[in-house]
Structure 1
């Protein structure tokens, strides 16, 4: 079986609907926890998926794992090894490729559609056209050198980027938003929601409306990307 290393930063921000896709196409999943489990040889796993979390790429002084992960990813990306980043994971990848990561004007939390660029329409993200996806971030990143911008929203110019076939960074969450699992997000991020003045009831209602379509299209997106990997 092929190996997939899943690097997580928060227990409930897991692979979500992506897990069965990876297992069904023949990946053996290995979960490691940031700042707790040692990082393996950066080039060894057939696939690496870096998940989201509530800390920031630039918080290395407070959370040294951010610096460690960025350096680790830089080695892997330099070798063009298949790597998928989601939210914080995409920010770490962008930083490892030399791009700036910084706060955006206003946090994006909730379900909203993407605006795809021509490269986005031409690739796996086309499955997500007109589909409200889950956003949950207060920072964004510039487009890394040599990468293509795939999608945007009014509040975030780069919602996704690709560098060749093997490197994909997504600022949004195509793997999350299904009830009842989404309840863990609402509880775990309750303080952030209260601070932002966002009612969990509204997010729960949107998850009920948009979650099933996001699961179907997100899984289709992932399947297409995996089929196109240059191994």
Structure 2
């Protein structure tokens, strides 16, 4: 009599790799929501000499946040070069990847796309409207007001699916395969972070930029829908894990 082999037990990792770009950078609301779900945050900063993990089996996901540098700085910043080389390994391993602002632009470049300033020099700083594409309606209920802080935009390659857009920077959100997402905006930014970012910021001196009072006073109006969206999104994002240890989750996400 042949005894059926036992199915391997599903190993559920409770660690998230949090990649930041400055010593004072913080994961904000995204980090808090992941910790609320019981995940341990493993903070990494390649620009300060941290090595990125080669073995991703211990991680349930990777989030790469924003920063003042460019995704094109791989020739001058070893940390940016390291991230660009590492991101395809994360995706190929089937680990859920989430890129926010610079993290989305790094994903774009790692996949063969381009990152450039706006041809007319326009920037998005403050509250900006975006709307979902037809494919994006599966991820966004409708148009949203999001928080932005960037001066470059993306041209994603054909392997990516556009999820959200606007007239100024057409790529606001995209997906590559089942497990990698990039968003140009900042769902992680809390009111406290806005207070820090807008204090004595040179970026706010540019023409047409929303001033500090707008950033702070409009938080109570525009932030709650974004808070609900990212809270819901994170569960669906974590469920895109493509590794054999989580087949049911992967299927549920699609």
TM-based fold match above 0.5: yes
- In structure 2, the CA distance between the partners of 1:184 and 1:119, relative to structure 1 (3 Å rule), is same
**1:14-163 matches, cutoff 5 A:** 14-36=26-48, 37-41=50-54, 43-44=56-57, 45-105=59-119, 106-123=122-139, 126-127=140-141, 129-163=142-176
Cα deviation per residue 1:41-98 (whole Å; 9 max; x = unaligned)?
1634331100000100112233222112101112222333211100000111111111
| 1:210 equivalent in alignment to 2:226 | no
Q: Aligned partners of 1:46, 1:146: CA distance in 2, in Å?
A: 24
Q: Aligned partners of 1:13, 1:205: CA distance in 2, in Å?
A: 23
Q: Aligned partners of 2:195, 2:54: CA distance in 1, in Å?
A: 35
Q: State whether residues 12 and 185 of structure 1, in contact with CA within 8 Å, keep that contact through their aligned partners in structure 2.
A: no
| 1:183 equivalent in alignment to 2:183 | no
Cα deviation per residue 1:112-156 (whole Å; 9 max; x = unaligned)?
221101111013xx14x2331111111111123321100001111
Counterpart in 2 of 1:170? 183
Higher strand share: 1
- In structure 2, the CA distance between the partners of 1:225 and 1:77, relative to structure 1 (3 Å rule), is closer
Cα deviation per residue 1:169-202 (whole Å; 9 max; x = unaligned)?
11111221x3233211112x71121244632112
Q: Name the TM-score, length of structure 1 as normaliser.
A: 0.88
- In structure 2, the CA distance between the partners of 1:209 and 1:120, relative to structure 1 (3 Å rule), is same
Counterpart in 2 of 1:226? 238
Equivalent residue pairs, number: 226
- In structure 2, the CA distance between the partners of 1:197 and 1:158, relative to structure 1 (3 Å rule), is closer
Q: Secondary structure at the match of 2:62?
A: strand
Cα deviation per residue 1:28-53 (whole Å; 9 max; x = unaligned)?
11111231122221634331100000
Any stretches of 5+ residues in structure 1 without a counterpart? none
Q: Secondary structure at the match of 2:19?
A: strand
- In structure 2, the CA distance between the partners of 1:204 and 1:141, relative to structure 1 (3 Å rule), is same
Any stretches of 5+ residues in structure 2 without a counterpart? 1-12, 244-254
